[in-house]
Amino acid sequence: MVFTSHIFLFYFLPFVLLFYYLLPKGRNLFLLVVSYIFYGWEEPWFVLLMFLATLVNFICGLFISRPGATHTERHIALVSSIIASLSLLGFFKYFVFMQNNLNSLLSLFGQEAFPVFLVSLPIGISFYTFQSLSYTIDLYRGDARPVSSFTDFACYVALFPQLIAGPIVRYSTIADQLIQREHRIDAFSSGVVLFILGFSKKILLANPMGEIADPVFAAQSPTTLDAWFGVVAYAFQIYFDFSAYSDMAIGLGRMFGFEFLQNFNAPYLADSMTDFWRRWHISLSTFLRDYLYIPLGGNRKGNLRTYFNLAIVMLLGGLWHGASWVFVVWGAYHGIWLAFERWRGKESIYHSLPHCLRILLTFIVVLISWVLFRSTDLLQAGLYLKSMAGMNGSSGGSVLLSAELYNPAHLLPFMASMILSFQPVQAFELAKSLSWWKLVLVSTLFVISVLSLIVQTFNPFLYYQF
């Protein structure tokens, strides 16, 4: 189910809120059941898969936290949890990719390719696998207390507000809230504000930006102007799409008494790539830092090892986004930039320039990475980058793109996206307090967004595919 769908907004959410607050107890069980309905709405059998992943990690958690368990037993339980979770993720997300690569390799040696066994990708598997793993790892490290009830743990893994596209909520963040949480009127209204702001960002900004980016990235050979227009629109689309989901998730969480951490902090105001990763998908970058970078040695094993660790973490981070070489190269590109900036003492190569120029140059570096992220393969990415550099020579029907792109329905949200991307006030901050002017603002935005939703065609969130 999609947050910006008719069924979610007008049926699922109101009824879940109604029954949740009518229930005197058993609210976690209720949230678990409705979360499974939410998740199973697209493909019902995927719920079984999530249940299985939850059960395995819960049992591993029991072994890790069993009183009197030896170090070896705890270690085996942790390794089992990691192997089981990553095998599940590996099979559903990377098996087809591996088969295709093996076939390519075979064809290089003149061997016949074998038929590819297709596997459908369960939505949100990357998110809930990481969340489940955070429980067993935190437990093993002694950073979290064992959960006493399977329902609570399953509720944490499946919690519908952040289930499909994050933010990645660690068990330790909401462990106490699962047992006891406050339902305050101000927290609820702050959740409403965040939900509305996220909803508006998605409907009024991200979707129109997708209408610009999609035809440009699908074009044969766009002109230089169109290529830049397309990739900037995509940068706005992915930011407003993904941060909108996070805002709505955090907002919904607050409506049910949960408090999740901020996931975006004006990423396009970053003045270096190191700064960018402090502001973009914060829950993923901190997860990778704590569960991969630091266990690999972090910066404690010398400079060369630090650069290698950074590169490998980002490369795997890229692969986490999708089973495709474009994501691997995207991750490597970011890894190399981060390692390079680390070598310069966490400073960008353009550190000596004025602040606004540093922001602009960082944005351009990020734009190049978005070309990789959005392209279907490396060849297309290469051609697109050539178009941006004016080296691809627009040909054929691509000349006609301008008729599709440059119209008021696109230019107005483009300008609004640009203004909002490069200003520091974030929805997360706005929602901390409520005044009458904010009430009028968010109410108006909500009405406009709901009206716009009525005429928009179905448009799921970009991060659903990860």
Summarize as ranges the residues that interact with another protein (CB under 8 A).
5-7, 9-11, 13-15, 17, 40-44, 185-186, 188-189, 192-193, 196, 215, 218-221, 380, 396-404, 407-409, 412, 434-436, 439, 442-443, 446-447, 450-452, 454-455, 457
Of residues 413, 395, 417, the one with CA closest to residue 405: 413
- Whichever of 137 and 204 has its CB closer to another protein, that residue is 204
The burial class, CB within 10 Å (0-12 / 13-18 / 19+), for 110 is exposed
How does 205-224 read in b/e, with b if 16+ C-beta sit within 10 Å? bbbbbbbbbbbbbebebbbb
Whether 445 contacts 197, CB under 8 Å: yes
58: CB partners within 8 A, 6+ apart:
147, 150, 153, 154
- Angle at alpha carbon of residue 145, lines to 141 and 146, rounded to 5°: 100
Residue 33 or 269 having the CB closest to another protein? 33
How far is Cα 154 from Cα 163, in angstroms, rounded to an integer?
11
Smaller CB separation from another protein, 158 or 175: 158
Shortest distance in whole angstroms from residue 35 CB to another protein: 15
In the complex, what is the shortest distance from the CB of residue 122 to another protein, in angstroms, rounded to a whole number? 13
Supply 53's token pair: 């992943």
Residue placing its CB nearer to another protein in the complex, 9 or 296: 9
User: Which of residues 52 and 448 has its CB atom nearest to another protein in the complex?
Assistant: 448
- Closer of 47 and 133 to another protein (Cβ): 47
Q: How far is the CB of 108 from another protein (least distance, A)?
A: 17
The yes-or-no answer on residue 410 being catalytic is no
Residue 179 CB, nearest distance to another protein (Å)? 26
Smallest separation, CB 24 to another protein (Å): 20
Which CA distances in Å does 187 have to 42, 430, 433?
A: 30, 13, 10
Of 321, 334, 351, 355, catalytic: 321
The CA-based angle 260-261-262, given to 5 degrees, is 125
Whether the ω angle into residue 167 lies within 30 degrees of 0, i.e. cis, is yes
In this structure, the number of other CB atoms found within 10 A of the CB of residue 367 comes to 16
Smallest gap from residue 106 Cβ to another protein (A)? 17
State the minimum distance, in angstroms, from the CB of residue 229 to another protein: 14
CA-CA distance, 327 to 123, in Å (whole number)? 18
Residue 338: which residues within 8 A CB-CB, separation 6 or more?
Answer: 273, 274, 277, 310, 311, 314
Cβ nearer to another protein, comparing 110 with 396? 396
Rounded distance between C-alpha atoms, residue 174 and residue 180, angstroms: 10
- Give the tokens for residue 85: 């979770």
Which residues are catalytic, by number?
A: 321
